[in-house]
Amino acid sequence: MMDHLVETNSVPSRLVEERLDEIRRVMGKADDDPLRIVGVGAGAWGSVFIAMLQENYGKFRGKVSVRIWRRGGRAIDKATAEHLFEVINSREELLRRLIRRCAYLKYVEARLGDRVLYADEILKDGFCLNMIETPLCPLKVVTNLQEAVWDADIVINGLPSTETFQVFNEISKYWKERVNAPVIISLAKGVEAEFEPHPRIVTPTQMIHRATGIPLENILYLGGPNIASEVYNKEYANARICGSEKWRKPLGKFLRQSHFIVWDNSDLITHEVMGGLKNVYAIGAGMVATLTKESATSKSVYFAHCTSEMIFITHLLAKEPEKLAGPLLADTYVTLLKGRNAWYGQKLAKGELSLEMGDSIKGKGMIQGVSAVKAFFELLNQSSLSLQHPEEGKPVTPAELCPILKMLYRILITREFSCEAILEALRDETMNDPRELIEIAHSHLFFQPWLLGQKP
Amino acid sequence: MMDHLVETNSVPSRLVEERLDEIRRVMGKADDDPLRIVGVGAGAWGSVFIAMLQENYGKFRGKVSVRIWRRGGRAIDKATAEHLFEVINSREELLRRLIRRCAYLKYVEARLGDRVLYADEILKDGFCLNMIETPLCPLKVVTNLQEAVWDADIVINGLPSTETFQVFNEISKYWKERVNAPVIISLAKGVEAEFEPHPRIVTPTQMIHRATGIPLENILYLGGPNIASEVYNKEYANARICGSEKWRKPLGKFLRQSHFIVWDNSDLITHEVMGGLKNVYAIGAGMVATLTKESATSKSVYFAHCTSEMIFITHLLAKEPEKLAGPLLADTYVTLLKGRNAWYGQKLAKGELSLEMGDSIKGKGMIQGVSAVKAFFELLNQSSLSLQHPEEGKPVTPAELCPILKMLYRILITREFSCEAILEALRDETMNDPRELIEIAHSHLFFQPWLLGQKP
């Protein structure tokens, strides 16, 4: 463990139990009825989030049960089995734990190729397929979706946005007979675009609402500068839980740990959209970092242009969107610096990955940014959205005011240009001062309420 | 040279000469009278700025003369002479240039310790003491201040803020008899605090005005995400020139190059203060990066807290300060990532430097951040500024709402804490969501016009 980390036992156990009792009270749990927390989807952040709850509250057996659902049958290939074996053997306390639980030898067999391991199997020992380097605590894994969620009180959505509707559509069948609605916290950071009856963005919380009928009041979003492995290693991080006042305040307190501060915020949509939007620009950031050999000046210029495009886009969707500050700004900063999408942009620019390989990468998971570039550009390029440009006077679609988004679309989706073109977009001499885009944003000229499905 | 760089000859010579003619016309220069541009102070950015003008316009001999002033007599120590010798011998075109100008052998003598070289001497060959690794083009160096400035049309202030008043005070003697006032562009990014007759900040442009009596209309500020060596290596960068409309527009066009885009802006004070303020937080950023072993999450959380403190402080000084966006945000981003002050913070946290060594470091120059921490904190901690805290109700000084600024003061100035304390300040569980500080800022509750010497 890194010595600078916050001491894990800094919060006395009595105080932790009080927080558990508080949330049980708010959720109206009877004394002998444990609070059931279920993670749906075992990506890196989804697994870490559940593991933190397990580590923090798991010891209070009768009062809480923490489970995680992931599909069964996903075989681990030989290379991953070898990597896993190295990770286990390089950490003494991990080796000791597996031996004690008589769970070690299957890894030796898999290493020798004498046995095939499955993703749900290794997750029980704390190994998430997308984050082998950061072993978690042992987890209760359920591969039957009905069994996992039918009686859940709190559901954590750790699925990518591209799978959220489909899985929650299945879940809705198992919740038909429920008396009280569960509370759902979505971590998903993608967005989808719809064009009929009119162009609009659909965010994961809206997908969950559509699929299950659970009232929006019970569906929250949590986002922040959270690199999964760094947060699990107790590096200080903060986040915001957004949604109804009724749930965000008590859940904010419940989820908070000494190294993971959770503030609450009412503006769910801006946070969720920004969560998807920053992945768009993170891919570009990775390209710029590689193409300019990590030039600080170029990265900072790119950062300034993206943040002004992001501010502009959020002002299309909401009249008074949350300011790009605090965890929202930090989330953007960290994602452009070190997130999975930035990594993908670097690999493309180095030629180590190609677009033909698709956007789900072994050992990394789904690259949300690619589908988000498509969703945002195609949506914001609809002629029905075009308006008079304040200076140039001719009609222009919002997408045309976002040169970086536009170039990323032409690199990643239509594939007209190679990665180098992102530098030209950045260095276009006619490029205006990013403040002008923000001026236009603050003029509310382009605000389109139904882009988020709201009535004007 | 890095292959990804913008081609230097992309701007046709005719166009460059047109820009020179345009500025000569605006400054009312007679045909046979060259436009005299003088750099005062030869730090890294000051030297690069003049070298870019020399390279871009120097060939039009009769129309312009570009000079740079630095104090004479500053001896180069043996280690620097050795380093200089390596730099020269590792670059063929540089070696060829010095040989052709019969300027090479003195470097051999200095390498052998048979001769002492002086800073002004090596600057003539393009070597700036603070940036030996990035050789510039040859420069016309003048060590006599009067001779350098008495007939200057455009003066570039490249001095640190701590020397600006004293040097311009001397310059004012040489300008007594002038018919028309020169135009001054200040690059200085520090600030000083004054407490009598009442607490206020004094920025370098104000110091120049006080020392010389040159009207504020003729004094401009230029700032942006400009790491000197990266800009000289033609990495794409942008900047803003701020000040009166009369001068900022023509000068913006004159200073612009294909890899160095210069926008213009009216809000000089916010830019200048932000220029000084970011150096404060850059020192902390270096500490955090080192103490957390470059943790992306911690750096992003730190970035979010500093930007909210910076936004809060600028709202103390101006009613509608320029938004922290575009080059201002990029400048903050790059300075926290790779500037000299961030470097200093890292060295302190690693124990390779100590506070006792002072804030002027050999081969690096002045660490502006240290004097800026003192100036900002002591100024904003004046009880005469305290007001009712919107939530806690008790009177509080603006400085108390800036936990990071406060901790940097206690580490760097009063030296009560070691560098590690910056992590505690960041991880203080009572820390509010940075958005709250911005809310208070936008309430204009704390706006104090005379903090910048303006009448309410």
> Residue B440 is which amino acid?
I
User: Angle formed by the axes of helices B403-412 and B268-291, to 10°?
Assistant: 70
Q: Please tell me which residue, A279 or B438, carries the higher pLDDT value.
A: A279
A189 is annotated as contributing to ligand binding: yes
Q: Please tell me the distance from the alpha carbon of residue B169 to that of residue B174, in angstroms, as a whole number.
A: 10
What's residue A6's pLDDT?
43
Instruction: List A residues 430-449 in contact with B (Cβ-Cβ < 8 A).
Output: 431-435, 438
Q: Please tell me which residue, B392 or A23, carries the higher pLDDT value.
A: A23
Give B193 to chain A, closest Cα distance, Å: 28
pLDDT band of B236, cuts 50, 70, 90: confident
Inspect the interface and report whether the beta carbons of B434 and A331 lie closer than 8 Å: no
Instruction: Indicate if B397 and B432 belong to the same structural domain.
Output: yes
What are the tens digits of pLDDT across the range B123-138? 999 999 999 999 999 9
Q: Three-state SS string across chain A, please?
A: CCCCCCCHHHCCHHHHHHHHHHHHHHCCCCCCCCEEEEEECCCHHHHHHHHHHHHHHCCCHHHEEEEEECCCCCECCHHHHHHHHHHHHCCHHHHHHHHHCCCCHHHHHHHHCCCCCEHHHHHHCCCCCCCCCCCCCCCEEECCHHHHHCCCCEEEECCCHHHHHHHHHHHHHHCCCCCCCCEEEECCCCCEEECCCCCEEECHHHHHHHHHCCCHHHEEEEECCCCHHHHHCCCCEEEEEECCHHHHHHHHHHHCECCEEEEEECCHHHHHHHHHHHHHHHHHHHHHHHHCCCCHHHHHHHHHHHHHHHHHHHHHHCCCCCCCCHHHHHHHHHHHHHCHHHHHHHHHHHCCCCHHHCCEECCCEECHHHHHHHHHHHHHCCHHHCEECCCCCCEECHHHHCHHHHHHHHHHCCCCCCCCHHHHHHCCCCCCCHHHHHHHHHCCCCCCHHHHCCCC
Q: Does A421 touch chain B (CB under 8 A)?
A: no
Instruction: Indicate if A151 and A279 belong to the same structural domain.
Output: no
The residues of A annotated with a catalytic role in the active site are: 278
Q: Please tell me the distance from the alpha carbon of residue B430 to that of residue A157, in angstroms, as a whole number.
A: 29
Residues of A whose CB is below 8 A from B281: none
pLDDT band of B355, cuts 50, 70, 90: very high
- Collect all residues with Cβ–Cβ distance below 8 Å to A10 and sequence separation of at least 6: A258
Q: Specify whether B278 is catalytic.
A: yes
Instruction: List A residues 228-267 in contact with B (Cβ-Cβ < 8 A).
Output: 230-231, 235-238, 240, 258-259, 261, 263, 265
- Collect all residues with Cβ–Cβ distance below 8 Å to B57 and sequence separation of at least 6: B16, B20, B63, B64, B66
- Is B425 a member of any domain? yes
pLDDT band of A3, cuts 50, 70, 90: very low
Q: Does A426 touch chain B (CB under 8 A)?
A: yes
Instruction: Indicate if A261 and A277 belong to the same structural domain.
Output: no
- Is B144 a member of any domain? yes
Most B CBs within 10 Å: which of A291, A300, A332, as the mutation test of the B interface?
A300
Give A30 to chain B, closest Cα distance, Å: 31
Q: Please tell me which residue, A112 or A455, carries the higher pLDDT value.
A: A112
What's residue A1's pLDDT?
37
Q: Does B20 touch chain A (CB under 8 A)?
A: no
Task: Find the Cα–Cα–Cα–Cα dihedral B286, B287, B291, B296, rounded to 10°.
Answer: -40
pLDDT band of B9, cuts 50, 70, 90: very low
The number of distinct structural domains making up chain A is: 2
Contacts 24+ apart (CB under 8 A), A60-63: A60/A17, A60/A20, A61/A34, A62/A32, A62/A34, A63/A17, A63/A20, A63/A21, A63/A24, A63/A34, A63/A35
Q: What's phi and psi for B239, nearest 5 deg?
A: -155, 170
Instruction: Indicate if A370 and A254 belong to the same structural domain.
Output: no
Residues of A whose CB is below 8 A from B259: 427
Q: Which CATH number covers residue A361?
A: 1.10.1040.10
Domain boundary among B265, B296, B326: B265
Cβ(B149)–Cβ(B176) below 8 Å: no
Inspect the interface and report whether the beta carbons of B333 and A304 lie closer than 8 Å: yes
- Collect all residues with Cβ–Cβ distance below 8 Å to B295 and sequence separation of at least 6: A230, A235
Give B449 to chain A, closest Cα distance, Å: 24
Cβ(B260)–Cβ(B230) below 8 Å: no
- Is A113 a member of any domain? no
User: Which two three-digit tokens encode residue B403?
Assistant: 């936990």
Q: Would you say the C-alpha torsion B114, B118, B119, B122 has a positive or negative sign?
A: negative
Q: Please tell me the distance from the alpha carbon of residue B426 to that of residue B411, in angstroms, as a whole number.
A: 14
What H or E segment, with its residue span, contains residue B154? strand B154-157
What are the tens digits of pLDDT across the range B35-86? 999 999 999 999 999 999 999 999 999 999 999 999 999 999 999 999 999 9
Instruction: Indicate if A60 and A184 belong to the same structural domain.
Output: yes
Tell me which residue range forms the domain holding B232.
11-70+139-265
Give the rounded distance of the alpha carbon of A108 from its chain centre.
33
Cβ(A158)–Cβ(A185) below 8 Å: no
* Pure H helices in B292-402: 296-317, 326-338, 340-350, 368-380
> For residues B289-314, b (16+ Cβ closer than 10 Å) or e, as one string?
bbbbeebbbbbbbbbbbbbbbbbbbb
Q: Does B333 touch chain A (CB under 8 A)?
A: yes
Domain boundary among A265, A283, A303: A265
How much of chain A, in percent, has pLDDT values that exceed 90? 62
Inspect the interface and report whether the beta carbons of A297 and B334 lie closer than 8 Å: yes
Inspect the interface and report whether the beta carbons of B4 and A291 lie closer than 8 Å: yes
Give B281 to chain A, closest Cα distance, Å: 15
Inspect the interface and report whether the beta carbons of A325 and B304 lie closer than 8 Å: yes
Inspect the interface and report whether the beta carbons of B238 and A293 lie closer than 8 Å: no
Domain boundary among A244, A265, A286: A265
Residues of B whose CB is below 8 A from A334: 296-297, 299-300
Mean pLDDT of A38-58: 96
Give B232 to chain A, closest Cα distance, Å: 11
Residues of B whose CB is below 8 A from A327: 301, 304, 433-434
Q: Does B100 touch chain A (CB under 8 A)?
A: no
Instruction: Indicate if B151 and B176 belong to the same structural domain.
Output: yes
Q: Please tell me the distance from the alpha carbon of residue A186 to that of residue A159, in angstroms, as a whole number.
A: 8
Q: Would you say the C-alpha torsion A13, A15, A21, A24 has a positive or negative sign?
A: negative
Q: Are strands B140-142 and A183-186 parallel, antiparallel or unpaired?
A: unpaired
Instruction: Indicate if A321 and A196 belong to the same structural domain.
Output: no
User: Angle formed by the axes of helices A403-412 and A368-380, to 10°?
Assistant: 120
Inspect the interface and report whether the beta carbons of A296 and B6 lie closer than 8 Å: no
Q: Please tell me the distance from the alpha carbon of residue A162 to that of residue A269, in angstroms, as a whole number.
A: 18
A42 is annotated as contributing to ligand binding: yes
Inspect the interface and report whether the beta carbons of A296 and B423 lie closer than 8 Å: no
Task: Find the Cα–Cα–Cα–Cα dihedral B437, B443, B448, B454, rounded to 10°.
Answer: 120
Q: Does B298 touch chain A (CB under 8 A)?
A: yes
Q: Please tell me the distance from the alpha carbon of residue A443 to that of residue A155, in angstroms, as a whole number.
A: 39
- Is B102 a member of any domain? no
Mean pLDDT of A158-187: 95
Reply yes or no on whether the pLDDT at A194 is more than 50.
Answer: yes
Q: Which of B263, B301, B303 sits opposite A236 (nearest CB)?
A: B301
What's residue A8's pLDDT?
44
Most B CBs within 10 Å: which of A134, A263, A301, A331, as the mutation test of the B interface?
A301
Inspect the interface and report whether the beta carbons of B300 and A230 lie closer than 8 Å: no
Instruction: Indicate if B196 and B338 belong to the same structural domain.
Output: no
Q: Which CATH number covers residue A261?
A: 3.40.50.720
- Is A95 a member of any domain? no
Peptide bond into A12 cis (omega under 30): no
Reply yes or no on whether the pLDDT at A36 is more than 50.
Answer: yes
- Is A17 a member of any domain? yes
Q: Which of A263, A329, A435 sits opposite B303 (nearest CB)?
A: A329
Inspect the interface and report whether the beta carbons of A322 and B435 lie closer than 8 Å: yes
Instruction: Indicate if A204 and A327 belong to the same structural domain.
Output: no
Q: Which residue in B has a C-alpha nearest to residue A290's C-alpha?
A: B4
pLDDT band of A429, cuts 50, 70, 90: low
Computed over every residue of chain B, the mean pLDDT equals 90
Residues of A whose CB is below 8 A from B308: 325-326
Q: Please tell me the distance from the alpha carbon of residue B31 to that of residue B10, in angstroms, as a whole number.
A: 28
pLDDT band of B238, cuts 50, 70, 90: confident
What are the tens digits of pLDDT across the range B420-446? 999 988 877 666 777 788 888 878 777
Q: Please tell me the distance from the alpha carbon of residue A71 to that of residue B443, in angstroms, as a whole number.
A: 51
Reply yes or no on whether the pLDDT at B259 is more than 60.
Answer: yes
What's residue A4's pLDDT?
41
Neighbours of B78 (CB within 10 A): 12
Cβ(A315)–Cβ(A441) below 8 Å: yes
- Is A82 a member of any domain? no
Instruction: Indicate if A367 and A301 belong to the same structural domain.
Output: yes
pLDDT band of A378, cuts 50, 70, 90: very high
- Is B117 a member of any domain? no
Instruction: Indicate if A154 and A277 belong to the same structural domain.
Output: no
What's residue A436's pLDDT?
81
Nearest CA-CA partner of A41 in A298, A408, A368: A368
Give A240 to chain B, closest Cα distance, Å: 9
B368 is annotated as contributing to ligand binding: yes
Inspect the interface and report whether the beta carbons of A427 and B230 lie closer than 8 Å: no
A51 is annotated as contributing to ligand binding: no
Instruction: List A residues 120-179 in contact with B (Cβ-Cβ < 8 A).
Output: none
How much of chain B, in percent, has pLDDT values that exceed 70? 96
Q: Which of A4, A322, A330 sits opposite B292 (nearest CB)?
A: A4
What's residue A281's pLDDT?
94
Instruction: Indicate if B254 and B294 belong to the same structural domain.
Output: no
pTM above 0.90, yes or no: no
